[in-house]
Every structure is written in C-alpha cells, then in structure tokens.
C-alpha cells in the first residue's frame, strides 16, 4: 500500500491493513492483482488474524465432533458450524456430513 522513509512496507489484505511494517525481504511481490487498494478496509489486523479469516477451517487446529450417530442434526459440532466431518471425527461410523 505504501513505503516509509526507512524502506518499510505497509501491506493490505481483503480483511484489513496489517498492523506492522515489513521489510522487502519478508514478502514476495505477486504480479497478479488480487485486491485493489480501494478494496482494502481501513481497519488494522494482525497477520495471524488475517490468515485465520482466510482459512477454510477457521485457523490453527481442526474441528472434530466425536459423534456416534450419523451427524445429520445440529447436535453434531461439525454440522452446527457448517463444516464437513473429516477423518479425525469418528472412525468408520456412517456419517451423512462428509
């Protein structure tokens, strides 16, 4: 987004402006434009927070339900969060949320 007098760069994402400045060797310039500078929200966020928001699973770790049924109701933690069950949820039980 901008460069300071000390050659530090302010970077923006679709989730906001990163809250720290980066030197040129800490990132790679991409030739493609994914986000226009006008689309970057004015709020600040940390690199970890932006990565968590962009993650399909919602950040570090993973969700699992340990259900013993078919995972077809909102009692299933995965189904309630609109996430598909994965191999960590339950062994070889029948599941309708895969």
**Residue 3, number of CB atoms within 10 A of its CB:** 11
9 and 50 in one domain? yes
Same domain, 50 and 6: yes
Residue 20: per-residue pLDDT = 92
Q: Are strands 44-45 and 16-18 parallel, antiparallel or unpaired?
A: parallel
User: What average pLDDT does the segment 57-76 reach?
Assistant: 77
Per the structure, the complete domain to which residue 37 belongs is given by 2-54
pLDDT band at 56 (very low <50, low <70, confident <90, very high): low
| Same structural domain, 23 and 39 | yes
Whether residue 58 is predicted with pLDDT greater than 80 in this model: the reply is: no
pLDDT band with cut points at 50, 70 and 90 for residue 23: very high
What local confidence, expressed as pLDDT, does residue 64 receive? 77
Rounded CA gap, 98 and 77, in Å? Answer: 13
């Amino acid at each position: 987004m901008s460069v300071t007098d000390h050659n530090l760069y302010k970077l923006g994402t679709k989730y906001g402006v990163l809250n720290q400045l980066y030197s040129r060797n800490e990132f790679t310039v991409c030739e493609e434009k994914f986000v226009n500078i006008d689309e970057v929200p004015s709020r600040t966020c940390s690199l970890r927070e932006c990565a968590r928001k962009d993650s399909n699973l919602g950040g570090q770790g993973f969700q699992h339900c340990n259900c013993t049924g078919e995972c077809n109701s909102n009692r299933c933690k995965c189904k309630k969060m609109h996430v598909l069950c994965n191999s960590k949820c339950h062994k070889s039980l029948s599941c309708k949320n895969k």
